[in-house]
Chains A and B, each alone.
Chain A
Amino acid sequence: MKDIKVLMFGWEFPPHTVGGLGKVTYHLSNALADLGVKISLILPIRGKSNNLKIIPTNLISIKGIKTFLTPYLNERSYQYQLEEESKIYVNLRDEINRFTKRGVEIAKQEDFDIIHCHDWMTFPAGIETKKFSGKKLILHVHTTELDRGCGGCNPFVYNIELNAFEKADKIIAVSNYTKNKIVEGYGISKDKIEVVHNAIEFNGEKKNKKSKRKKIILFFGRLSLHKGPDYFIRAAKKVLDYKKDVLFVMAGSGELLPEMIDLSCNLGIGDKILFTGRLKEDEVEKIYEIADLYVLPSVSEPFGITVLEAASNGIPVIISKNCGVKEIFNNCLEVDFWDVDEIANKMISVLEYEPARMEITENAYRDLEKISWKKQASHVLNIYNSLLR
């Protein structure tokens, strides 16, 4: 069989990652390359950093586009980042147009059989490429505007997504949860959508957590509305009212950072919550090493790959019911994101009841053994093949 050549429009890429998407792109394209798929990856590259980590295979070639785009941008965080880096781009819309134009120019010089796009910023480029090349277009949906917007979605982004969903030949959703969002929120036929869950590379090594007196509860993710950081802080307050020797770490940056710091001070627990800002890879490992409990109180979470990462580090996890990851991962505690009392109750319970912690983490390891990128890549390959037939 002839090798399939894929033109992939990506997001970020390690080591410069903001959310889980860079990692997903990395692992998925790596696993696909192992199956013999040739990938040309077109990526937005942040203005100042051009040094990309090269995947150790010659099946992937990477083309960078200098742009200011990073995943999970919206108007508000775009402005936030502008302030942060004091650049003078006019608005998000122009930036997307620029990326699309450059992307298509590169695509014209490439030889490929199929187009694979990751999330909305790359969708216009995918559609344009499909137009001139006539190749099939796959949209890989890691998150939708309906997740990010928490009810107040941006019509500009929504329309890009809607238009692209309609024109695509196939949509890959990272969970049934997301699939339903696309069916219900965008009116797309469910036959057009395949679910390929994310995975992690779990090496089977079980970490032994040292027990220490002071316990650390971790929030790890962007500080945006849809991740529910405010529920985390409110639950922290309840925990601290009950139990003093607990420390809370909020790892990640985002447009809500100032508000969250305010909130924790107003609740009088400013000294018990640590805001780390954005973490580098080795810092992430450190934080997983010391955390005793991971909490993801997302309002809407298409997948939630950090849950698997935390579990692979022997950390018990509390997740909101609105998380795609629970479709493949059972051994955690589930809560309603708004139920602050219940979140706090479970936080304390996991710390206090050792047998529960041990059962959760051990059974979680068993879940993880069944998960691998190789399996998921072969699902994706099957989708390629079905489109090329």
Chain B
Amino acid sequence: MVSVCFYLHVHQPFRLKNFRIFDIGKEKNYFDEERNRMYLERIIKKSYLPTNQILLDLIHKTDGKFKVSFSITGVLLEQLENYPKVLESFKKIVDTGCCDLVGETYYHSLASVFSLSEFKRQIKKQEKKLKEVFGIKPKIFRNTELVYQNEIGKFVERLGYKGILAEGWDKVLEWRSPCFVYKGKDSNICVLLKHYKLSDDIAFRFSERKWEGWPLTADKFSNWINKHNGNGNIINLFMDYETFGEHQWKETGIFEFLKHFPLKVLKNGDEFLTPTETIKKYKPVAEIDFPNIVSWADTERDLSAWIGNRMQKAASSELYSLEKEILKYGDRKLIDNWRKLQTADHLYYMCTKWFADGDVHKYFNPYRSPYDAFIIFMNILNDLKLKLEINKKIKTNYMDKNFLRRVEEGKEFYCRNGKIICSLEELAREIKKLDPETFLHHVNEEKNDFANWIENVIGDIVLANRIKRIKRQSTMSRVITARVARLNLL
């Protein structure tokens, strides 16, 4: 009996809007909301809804013998929040118990290559999201683009994962077959290797009329699987979810194929397993060594489509160089935007590999060219840096003697009792002398005129934040006096 492990990766990025150099420091939003919605709604209609329906029907029809697994990126789950029907259709499948959810990075990022600490944070964030939405903690991990290497295996094992998905690439496997469970080098993590020939028969070649296997029927395909009896335990069919309905259109007959091939597989006496079940049923036959990074992409199976050219290298290294500062000084929104920029798709759109050969249509790019993708990305990154600088100034108790200067004429503080205050030092002196009535007029439940004046006219945001909630005259006087004393010391 051959076990089939059928796993689909579901993801849509937050595409960037045409952010011009003139928008730096001015424009608030980085993402092309309208276009993202348009793409998402198209893919929901063409792929998610019809495919999920078929998958659910298959589970019911086979009394749960059909199994499927998903990894759904956090950024997609975020986008699907506005589409409860779609989220529900995924949940229904998960709730049957015939579906494994596979862990990954929330942002579909290549953090594993650039920063392991960030990698960990994004895995944890994804776990939290899966718990929240589906109530499930994943035991199996898949890295973005199936990027795998010994070290990555060891790392996610420490995070509690029992298994990891990887490409069954000939150059690593050599004489070995991808149809067995292996274990990572120097670790106990189980490695499930993609059977790329059979996977790609569906994902890439299904509608390729020049291919000798065309047309691919359920009978033919299930027999190819069945032939592995005797020389393999498992067939790992890993592919993008969008294969069904988007990469392969409905007109190619892909949905009919999906409806029937699982039934044929079962009829042949073979079975479906989730990745978790797979590693329970089969013990690793040997250790497998992945000394170098291997991905599931292109004929090279490397990262050259993401970090192959100068633009991609510059963009990614600049982005990740912000890690320390942005985590220290950034607010939640800034950090989230920084991470959304890490989504690997942005780097992929800058790929010139095929573009250089004039074959522009070989891959999908929402921008006019890889150069446009880079320019937009860099403009946004520069805006992010600017925002970070501002945050940093505020957070590092930015102290500036300028705060002590006399304010411009016409911007003085006019007290209710007629007193005019021209500087911070004067305010420190005068505030304790103010009669309570005047103080209450300026500082009450509705407003704090002194805090506003300090923030908007003096510009000392730190001090303004400190006295914002102070209601007592003496406390406020003490805080301001202390601040003036410190500034004087500078």
Q: What residues of chain A have their CB less than 8 Å away from a CB belonging to chain B?
A: 238, 242, 328, 330-331, 333-334, 341-342, 344-346, 348-349, 352-356, 358-360, 363, 366-367, 370
Decide if A342 touches B314 in the complex (CB within 8 Å).
no
Task: Provide 12 A-B residue pairs closer than 8 Å at the C-beta atoms, listed in order of the A residue.
Answer: A242-B22, A331-B356, A331-B371, A334-B368, A345-B21, A345-B22, A349-B21, A349-B378, A359-B374, A363-B356, A367-B356, A367-B358
Closest residue of chain A to B360, judged by CB?
A330
Given contacts A331-B356, A363-B352, A367-B358, contact A355 B21 (CB under 8 A): no
Decide if A353 touches B20 in the complex (CB within 8 Å).
no
Decide if A360 touches B358 in the complex (CB within 8 Å).
no
Among B356, B360, B374, point to the contact of A356 (Cβ < 8 A): B374
- Chain B residues with Cβ under 8 A from A366's Cβ? 356
Contact with A along B359-384 (1 / 0, CB 8 A): 01000000011111011001100000
Q: In angstroms, how far is the closest chain A Cβ from the Cβ of B397?
A: 33
- Chain B residues with Cβ under 8 A from A348's Cβ? 21
Decide if A358 touches B356 in the complex (CB within 8 Å).
no
Size category of the binding interface on chain B: 20 to 34
Q: What residues of chain B have their CB less than 8 Å away from a CB belonging to chain A?
A: 18, 20-22, 309-311, 313-315, 352, 355-356, 358, 360, 368-372, 374-375, 378-379
Decide if A359 touches B313 in the complex (CB within 8 Å).
no
Q: In angstroms, how far is the closest chain A Cβ from the Cβ of B301?
A: 23
- Chain A residues with Cβ under 8 A from B21's Cβ? 242, 345, 348-349, 352
Decide if A334 touches B310 in the complex (CB within 8 Å).
no
Separation of A359 and B372 alpha carbons in the complex (Å)? 12
Separation of A39 and B313 alpha carbons in the complex (Å)? 52
Question: At the interface, is chain B mostly helix, strand, loop or mixed?
Answer: helix
Q: In angstroms, how far is the closest chain A Cβ from the Cβ of B313?
A: 7
Separation of A360 and B18 alpha carbons in the complex (Å)? 19
Lowest 4 A-B CB distances belong to which pairs? A345-B20, A355-B310, A355-B314, A349-B375
- Chain B residues with Cβ under 8 A from A353's Cβ? 311, 314, 374-375, 378
Among B20, B313, B356, B369, point to the contact of A355 (Cβ < 8 A): B313
Separation of A353 and B374 alpha carbons in the complex (Å)? 9
Among A331, A346, A354, A356, point to the contact of B355 (Cβ < 8 A): A331
Given contacts A330-B358, A331-B356, contact A359 B20 (CB under 8 A): no
Decide if A360 touches B371 in the complex (CB within 8 Å).
yes
Decide if B371 touches A342 in the complex (CB within 8 Å).
no
Separation of A238 and B358 alpha carbons in the complex (Å)? 32
Separation of A354 and B375 alpha carbons in the complex (Å)? 11
Among A341, A359, A370, point to the contact of B371 (Cβ < 8 A): A359
Question: At the interface, is chain A mostly helix, strand, loop or mixed?
Answer: helix
Decide if B310 touches A359 in the complex (CB within 8 Å).
yes
Q: In angstroms, how far is the closest chain A Cβ from the Cβ of B378?
A: 5
Closest residue of chain A to B315, judged by CB?
A355
Separation of A333 and B371 alpha carbons in the complex (Å)? 7
Q: In angstroms, how far is the closest chain A Cβ from the Cβ of B239?
A: 30
Separation of A238 and B23 alpha carbons in the complex (Å)? 13
Decide if B20 touches A341 in the complex (CB within 8 Å).
yes
Decide if B20 touches A342 in the complex (CB within 8 Å).
yes
- Chain B residues with Cβ under 8 A from A346's Cβ? 375
Separation of A356 and B369 alpha carbons in the complex (Å)? 11
Given contacts A355-B313, A355-B314, contact A333 B369 (CB under 8 A): yes
- Chain A residues with Cβ under 8 A from B371's Cβ? 331, 333, 356, 359-360
- Chain A residues with Cβ under 8 A from B379's Cβ? 345, 349
- Chain B residues with Cβ under 8 A from A345's Cβ? 20-22, 375, 379
Decide if B375 touches A355 in the complex (CB within 8 Å).
no
Separation of A165 and B342 alpha carbons in the complex (Å)? 55
Among B22, B311, B313, B369, point to the contact of A330 (Cβ < 8 A): B369
Separation of A309 and B21 alpha carbons in the complex (Å)? 28
- Chain A residues with Cβ under 8 A from B310's Cβ? 355, 358-359
Known pairs A366-B356, A367-B356 / 17 extra A-B pairs, C-beta < 8 Å: A242-B21, A330-B360, A334-B369, A342-B18, A344-B22, A346-B375, A349-B378, A352-B21, A353-B375, A354-B314, A355-B310, A355-B313, A356-B374, A356-B375, A358-B310, A359-B309, A359-B352
Decide if B372 touches A333 in the complex (CB within 8 Å).
yes
- Chain B residues with Cβ under 8 A from A344's Cβ? 22
Separation of A181 and B67 alpha carbons in the complex (Å)? 56
- Chain B residues with Cβ under 8 A from A367's Cβ? 356, 358
- Chain A residues with Cβ under 8 A from B314's Cβ? 353-355
- Chain A residues with Cβ under 8 A from B315's Cβ? 355
Q: In angstroms, how far is the closest chain A Cβ from the Cβ of B321?
A: 15
Separation of A242 and B311 alpha carbons in the complex (Å)? 23
Closest residue of chain B to A364, judged by CB?
B356
Decide if A363 touches B355 in the complex (CB within 8 Å).
yes
Separation of A214 and B20 alpha carbons in the complex (Å)? 22
- Chain A residues with Cβ under 8 A from B311's Cβ? 353, 355-356, 359
